[in-house]
Amino acid sequence: MFGWIVRILLVVAGIVTGWFVARDAAIFGVAQVMVALLLITAVVAILAFWPSQWTISLSRFRKPR
């Protein structure tokens, strides 16, 4: 399961890196890993802060007593 997540992130990172760096360039692998780390950081940040944003938006709809 974890391997699938990593594979999907690396495929997405390869696509994004391909927009900025030629696939034949020697730095492509390094750039792909950097983009993959940015994607992992973004996913972790979204998962970490999503519950707080969800509760804030839900508390707006509650009726005050």
Query: Per-residue pLDDT tens for 25-64?
Result: 999 999 999 999 999 999 888 888 877 666 766 666 665 6
Task: Provide the Cα torsion 8, 6, 45, 31; round to 10°.
Answer: -80
Residue matched to tokens 């760096």: 21
Alpha carbon distance 44, 36 (integer Å):
12
Question: What per-residue confidence (pLDDT) applies to 6?
Answer: 81
**Residues 35 and 13 sit within 8 Å (Cβ to Cβ):** yes
